[in-house]
């Protein structure tokens, strides 16, 4: 895992699968692939199909599969020539556990393609939380003018859970804007934008010092239900929460109680266990909670190119015997 043999690299069979009805910004075309392949790589075959019109023979021959959604059963039973699966989504938690995946196949995700957009979104959302915009918005619903002045964000302390591609981009952008960042990551490895980096076992110690808690981790067995009533209670009064990870990371009932009691000043959620969020969800009307329709990370322009650049870089790495990047870790699931 992480390296592949190189003999097939100069003339690979490439299979692209799109999903009919998806946003066209995420559709990978033959031109997209050709534009982004490294110059040494001239495909022997390049097939581009929707999932409802598969060319099974081409899929069986494919060395490289590029797809946003994976039919893992089909892949494991039919696509036996694969060396690389480039998923054009960053989150691949729905494909875990990875028994379906032949250990010789490099399964790479699109982690990192969202950096610029998610950094900007998180900056906006954190400024909004600091400025009490969720409460101001709730008051607007009730025609209530309530002038509570807020200082600038200069002293605002942000705790980011998950400082990978997503959280790292968030940290950089917030650090540049003057926020003080504490980070939690599995490795505990420091990064420049984060003043204090801790490992997950220190999460609870960090909570009392977080004015804004940002969830930016993948959804795994370790992060499912990470933030419940106890964690929210450990935040200082008036703190706020931003979730750009996955809906399952936070207990929404506990969040509701913390918002209704006034312990939390506000929250912004961009991700939900069921998306689109159903019209009858109770989340829509919780006071001081703003609902975003999963828009924090995806910028349509250039998305496909950014994904294919990961594949292209990996083909070059494979050719020169270096380990691939963006390989999904079978144990940790991202």
- Asked if 208 and 182 count as a contact pair (C-beta separation under 8 A), the reply is no
> In angstroms, what is the minimal distance from the CB of 198 to a copy of itself?
28
The yes or no reply on residue 149 touching a copy of itself (CB under 8 A) is yes
Residue 4: helix, strand or coil by DSSP? coil
Choosing from 60, 202, 263, 294, the catalytic residue is 294
Phi, psi of 156 (to 5 degrees): -75, 130
Question: How far apart are the C-alpha atoms of 242 and 274, rounded to whole Å?
Answer: 18
Binding residue for a copy of itself, selected from 3, 25, 29, 221, defined by CB under 8 A: 25
Residue 19 near a copy of itself by CB under 8 A: no
d(CA 333, CA 275): 21
- Segment lying near a copy of itself (by CB under 8 A), choices 44-52, 70-78, 126-134, 307-315: 126-134
The site for a copy of itself, by CB under 8 A, has a size of: 46
Q: Which of 21, 103, 150, 320 binds a copy of itself (CB under 8 A)?
A: 150
- Nearest CA to 90 out of 26, 14, 47 is that of 26
Q: Which of 63, 61, 56 is nearest to 41 (CA)?
A: 63
Comparing CA positions, the residue from 12, 16, 14 lying closest to residue 67 is 16
Minimal distance in Å, beta carbon 249 to a copy of itself? 19
Q: Examine the residue annotation and report whether 275 is marked as an active-site residue of this protein.
A: yes
Minimum Å gap between C-beta 179 and a copy of itself is 11
> Residue 17 catalytic?
no
Q: Which listed residue (84, 90, 123, 170) binds a copy of itself by CB under 8 A?
A: 123
Q: Check if 294 is active-site.
A: yes
93 forms part of the interface with a copy of itself (CB under 8 A):
no
- CA–CA separation, 9 and 21 (whole Å): 32
Residue 120 near a copy of itself by CB under 8 A: yes
Touching a copy of itself, residues 260-299 (CB under 8 A) = 275-277, 279-281, 284, 290-295, 298-299
Complex with a copy of itself: residue 124 or 196, whichever CB lies closer: 124
Buried b (16+ CB within 10 A) or exposed e, 228-246: eeebbebbeeebbbbbbbb
What CA–CA distance (Å, rounded) separates 157 from 171?
A: 12
Q: How many residues does the chain have?
A: 334
Q: What are 269's strand-pairing partners? A: 243, 291
Task: Please list the active-site residues.
Answer: 246, 275, 294
- Point out which residues bind a copy of itself (CB under 8 A): 23, 25, 116-117, 120-121, 123-124, 127-128, 131, 133, 136-137, 139-141, 143-154, 275-277, 279-281, 284, 290-295, 298-301
């Amino acid at each position: 895992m992480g390296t592949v043999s190189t003999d097939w690299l100069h003339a690979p069979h490439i299979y692209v699968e799109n999903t009919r009805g998806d946003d066209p910004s995420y559709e990978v075309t033959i031109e997209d692939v050709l534009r982004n392949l490294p110059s040494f790589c001239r495909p022997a075959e390049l097939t581009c199909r929707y999932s409802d019109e598969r060319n099974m023979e081409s899929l069986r021959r494919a060395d490289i599969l590029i797809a946003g959604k994976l039919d893992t059963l089909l892949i494991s039973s039919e696509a036996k020539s694969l060396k690389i699966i480039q998923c054009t989504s960053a989150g691949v938690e729905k494909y875990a556990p990875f028994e379906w995946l032949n250990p010789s196949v490099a399964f790479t995700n699109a982690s990192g393609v969202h950096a610029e957009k998610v950094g900007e979104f998180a900056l906006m959302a954190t400024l909004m939380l600091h400025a009490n915009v969720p409460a101001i918005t709730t008051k607007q619903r009730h025609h209530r003018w309530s002038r509570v002045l807020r200082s600038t964000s200069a002293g605002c302390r942000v705790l980011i859970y998950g400082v990978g591609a997503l959280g790292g981009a968030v940290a950089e952008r917030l650090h540049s804007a003057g926020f003080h960042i504490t980070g939690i990551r599995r490795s505990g490895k420091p990064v420049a934008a984060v003043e204090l980096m801790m490992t997950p076992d220190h999460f609870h110690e960090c909570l009392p010092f977080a004015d804004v808690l940002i969830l930016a981790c993948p959804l795994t067995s370790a992060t499912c239900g990470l933030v419940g009533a106890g964690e929210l209670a450990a935040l200082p009064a008036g703190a706020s929460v931003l979730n750009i990870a996955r809906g399952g990371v936070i207990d929404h009932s506990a969040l509701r109680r913390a918002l209704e009691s006034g312990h939390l000043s506000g929250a912004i959620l961009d991700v939900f266990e069921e998306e689109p969020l159903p019209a009858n969800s109770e989340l829509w009307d919780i006071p001081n909670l703003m609902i975003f329709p999963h828009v924090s990370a995806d910028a349509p322009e250039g998305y496909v190119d950014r994904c294919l650049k990961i594949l292209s870089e990996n083909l070059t790495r494979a050719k020169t015997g270096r380990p691939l990047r963006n390989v999904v870790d079978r144990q940790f699931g991202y």
